[in-house]
Amino acid sequence: MSFIIAIDGPAASGKGTIARALARHYGFHHLDTGLLYRATGARGGDPVRAARALTPEDLDRDDLRSAEAGQAASRIAAIPEVRAALVDFQHRFAAQEPGAVLDGRDIGTVICPDAQVKLYVTASDQVRAARRAAELGADPAEVLAQLRERDRRDSERATAPLKPSPDAVILDTSTLSIGDAIAAAMAEVERLLPR
């Protein structure tokens, strides 16, 4: 059985950076599950049909990291039929040997509830907004408003809301350097990785 690391949390918390670092370190496959929703939204048209037709190549689009793609992803992620269409894709990915790291908003609660490691990565709203604004070259106040709206929508949706799994380790990166955040996550993986 594949070793699965599930990393959840809100936008700009550092979960993607941590997930990529863990996958690289352990030689595991990595999937930013948010890209599935971004790619589905970027396809346009009927979101359910777009989700069902999604291919791995769709995840390589250059425009998937834009703020617009993120907002579109959050809107279509609230559609239960879209989520259902993407669940199989994620299950197949997670089953790859020797292991997989999946980051998103419902990995530990819905997609991989039996993951060996579950992390919920978070940071203060202000820190997340500053990070995302620097990444996008945008106004921090505008980004803060967008992040709060997205957090509200993601947390309040009926299907697979953004929330930590009861057995997830909470990792607040507000005051951590990238290296310290990765080290803290790696320490949790080391504690649970079979020898």
Sorted by where each starts, the structural domains of the chain and their CATH numbers stand as 3-188 (3.40.50.300)
Give average pLDDT by consecutive 10-residue segment, the chain, 195 residues: 93 95 97 91 91 88 83 84 90 94 94 97 96 91 92 84 93 97 97 85
* Residue 11 marked as a ligand binder: yes
Checking DSSP bridges between strand 29-32 and strand 3-8, what pairing results, if any?
unpaired
* Residue 177 marked as a ligand binder: no
Cα dihedral across residues 3, 87, 56, 61: positive or negative: negative
- Who contacts 48 (Cβ-Cβ below 8 Å, separation ≥6)? 79, 81, 82, 85
* Residue 163 marked as a ligand binder: no
* Residue 14 marked as a ligand binder: yes
Cα 48 to chain centroid, rounded? 20
* Residue 34 marked as a ligand binder: no
Cα 152 to Cα 10, 43, 48, 52, 149: the distances in Å are 10, 25, 23, 26, 5
* Residue 165 marked as a ligand binder: no
What is the side-by-side strand order in the sheet with 117-122? 29-32, 99-104, 3-8, 117-122, 169-172
* Residue 9 marked as a ligand binder: yes
- What confidence score (pLDDT) does residue 55 get? 85
- What confidence score (pLDDT) does residue 60 get? 87
